[in-house]
Structure 1
Amino acid sequence: MKSNIPIPGTLRERILNQAIKDFGTHGFEGVNVQQFAKSIGVTTGALYHHFGNKLELYRIVREEVERRIISRMEGASAVHEEPILSIKAAILVGFDSAVKLNVCRLLSEQDPSDNKDLAAILFKEILNEEMEGTEFIISAGWRASLRNVANGMNIEQSRNVLVKLLEKFN
């Protein structure tokens, strides 16, 4: 069993669920550890007992959220055989999922734990082309649309900008 999978009803699960909400809304820099611990009724010592430090908690949360979104994106991309249609489906499902889960800020910010860009890895698998680096440009566009939402842009407007960008791929 992975050590970061919480047992339902445990303090660890409460911490992770609240961390997804707080990092999703405020990002890494916007979460104060003392206020976070207080909001769930624990001490910072208890928090550090389970996760070591803020960066480790963030790393676990970011990885978990990103894996959830990427899983949905993989499912959407698998419906299409043509790579460009697969990319478009994956991006739109990823955008909609991030908005629904309220994790736009989390997924749009630079990852301070320097995890791999799982979206770029997915896009590279879909494209399967020799033009190295395209996957990072596509991932950056997707993440920029999420940042627009996190910064207050109307969701539909941000999604429409993303759709217009994707139309350029034809």
Structure 2
Amino acid sequence: MREDIPIPGTVKEKILNQAIKDFGRSGYEGVNVQLLAKSVGATTGAIYHHFGNKLELYRTIREEVEHRIISRMEGASAVYEAPLMSLKAAMIVGFDYAVKINVCTLASEQDPSKSTDLVASLFKTMLGEEIEGAETILAACWRASLGNVANGMDAETAKKALLWFIDKE
């Protein structure tokens, strides 16, 4: 069994599930480890035992959430052969899923762990070498649209703003 997959019903699984909700809604700075632990009936020591520190817990959560989003984006993009249509489908599906699972703050914020931007990497694969650096700009637009939702903008309005950039030729 992989070590990073928690056994159902364990303290580690409870911490991960609550952390996805808390980081998704409040972002890295907005999560208090003591309150997170208390909300699942655990101690902060349990969090540190399983994850080392808040940043490692965040990194685990962020990677998990982004893998879930990217999996859906890849499926949506596979329907189209044209790179821009593929990109547009991926962005819409990823956006909608992030809104649905309420992780807009997490997905929109700068990653304090400074790990690779998985969304930009996906976009680079989809676009190939068409325009160097476009993937970073597109990922930033996608994340900014989610940030708009996190800051109170209606999701459909934020999505329209995102698609406005893509639909321009």
* TM over 0.5, shorter chain: yes
Q: CA offset at residue 130 of structure 1?
A: 4.5
The equivalent of 1:76 in structure 2 is 76
- What runs of 5+ residues in structure 2 fail to find an aligned partner? none
SS of residue matched to 2:136: helix
The equivalent of 1:146 in structure 2 is 146
CA–CA distance in 1 between the matches of 2:115 and 2:5?
18
- Range 81-90 or range 158-167, more displaced: 158-167
The equivalent of 1:38 in structure 2 is 38
What amino acid maps onto 2:31 in structure 1?
V
CA–CA distance in 2 between the matches of 1:61 and 1:4?
11
The equivalent of 1:166 in structure 2 is 166
- Range 2-11 or range 99-108, more displaced: 2-11
The equivalent of 2:14 in structure 1 is 14
The equivalent of 1:104 in structure 2 is 104
Q: Say whether residues 1:29 and 2:29 are aligned partners.
A: yes
CA–CA distance in 2 between the matches of 1:88 and 1:130?
16
Deviation digits for residues 25-46 of structure 1, max 9, x if unmatched? 0000000111111111111111
The equivalent of 2:94 in structure 1 is 94
Q: CA offset at residue 7 of structure 1?
A: 1.2
Deviation digits for residues 51-99 of structure 1, max 9, x if unmatched? 1110010000000000000010000000000000000000000000000
SS of residue matched to 2:9: coil
Task: Name the TM-score, length of structure 1 as normaliser.
Answer: 0.96
SS of residue matched to 1:129: coil
Q: CA offset at residue 131 of structure 1?
A: 2.3
Q: CA offset at residue 3 of structure 1?
A: 2.2
What amino acid maps onto 2:12 in structure 1?
R
- Range 60-69 or range 122-131, more displaced: 122-131
List structure 1 segments (4+ residues) > 3 angstroms apart after TM superposition.
Answer: none
- What runs of 5+ residues in structure 1 fail to find an aligned partner? none
CA–CA distance in 2 between the matches of 1:112 and 1:5?
23
Task: Name the TM-score, length of structure 2 as normaliser.
Answer: 0.97
Q: CA offset at residue 2 of structure 1?
A: 3.1
What amino acid maps onto 1:14 in structure 2?
K
CA–CA distance in 2 between the matches of 1:130 and 1:149?
30
Q: Say whether residues 1:52 and 2:52 are aligned partners.
A: yes
CA–CA distance in 2 between the matches of 1:100 and 1:69?
11
Q: Say whether residues 1:157 and 2:157 are aligned partners.
A: yes
